[in-house]
Amino acid sequence: MGVSHMCISVLAELQLDSLEDILFLMCLHCGDVISFGHVVWDGASLILACRNVKKGLDAKAEILQKVQNYNGQIFVKHLDLCSIPNIVKFTENIKSEFKEIFALVNCAGVFYHPQGLTEDGFEITLQTNYLGPFILTHHLLGLLQNSVHARIINVSSEAHRNVNIYDLKAITKCQTEFRSHFIAYGVSKLALILFTKELAKKLTNTNVLVNAVNPGNVETPIYRHFPPLSNPWFYAAQWPIRIVGVKSPKQGCQTLLHALLTSNRSTGQYYSDCKSCLPSPIAGNDKIAAEYYNLTLEVLADWLNTESEC
């Protein structure tokens, strides 16, 4: 197992709200080794982009403790996806320090979060799970294209199947519209798959692969806002069922690792249980993907005036 593979596996095992607070980038320097399929990225630098820097530092310390002979560096940097100015500042910082990025993993996300608006005027779930990663990705495309091979992984969910086209457009166009927490989450995950599909098409003739993954139902603190699981008594009562039906964080990151490390050059795919599978009919529709991408650009017109390096 490559050391970078081990770093990601350790990161997944940490109970650090890893699906909410941390996303990560793998940056390369001259002389780094990339080995698809068998992995190594010897000497690559890992960037943990965190809303909570202390949690990121805790993750870094545990990675360095558990992963032996890691030749790269681990950087912990502040990133708040609920603040577009902060996203832009973060990307400018990355551009000033690194010449290329091998991998961008958009795995930050919230579930069942109380409805509210960010400082930018967007609904919290939509901005954290989709709009923030959309802006972040576009600002980093230049560094990704500087790499010989590069990959963007968007972490989605089977919850994307539970929403329809009306939900998708209504929530995206009106940030204050009342909606259930489940619908809000499903829309954000459907949006990520549509984004994956359209961005992959726009980057067809480049070195960048873009894919979406479903980690499954994973035992992380992302459920802390969900009453049936945030209540310790309810949680304890469900434990026998969760042992059987819920993945450990290490199990949950396997599909992500597969998409990140496979020698398969497919792009625009949706992976689940370490294999490509069909998303919902809406998510698999090329026309809807193109229309929704353009709608996103309209919604973000004040913040993202062009398609960047696409």
Give a yes or no: residue 307 inside a domain: no
Q: Whole-prediction pTM value?
A: 0.86
Length of the chain in terms of residues written: 310
Number of domain units in the chain: 1
- Measure the CA–CA gap between 50 and 108, rounded to whole angstroms: 9
Give a yes or no: residue 308 inside a domain: no
Give a yes or no: residue 21 inside a domain: yes
User: Digits of tens for pLDDT over the chain (310 positions)?
Assistant: 444 445 555 555 554 444 345 555 665 433 333 333 333 345 678 888 888 888 888 888 887 887 777 777 888 999 999 999 999 999 999 999 999 998 999 988 888 788 999 999 999 999 999 999 999 999 999 999 998 889 999 999 999 999 999 999 999 999 887 788 889 999 999 999 999 999 999 999 999 999 999 997 766 665 555 555 555 655 566 666 666 667 777 787 889 888 988 889 999 999 999 999 999 999 999 999 999 999 999 999 998 865 555 6
Residue 32 is part of a domain; what is its CATH number? Answer: 3.40.50.720
Give a yes or no: residue 305 inside a domain: no
Would you state the pLDDT for residue 143? 94
Catalytic residue among 185, 271, 292, 293: 185
> What range defines the domain where residue 140 resides?
3-299
Give a yes or no: residue 309 inside a domain: no
Give a yes or no: residue 310 inside a domain: no
Give a yes or no: residue 263 inside a domain: yes
Give a yes or no: residue 8 inside a domain: yes
Q: Is 185 a catalytic residue?
A: yes
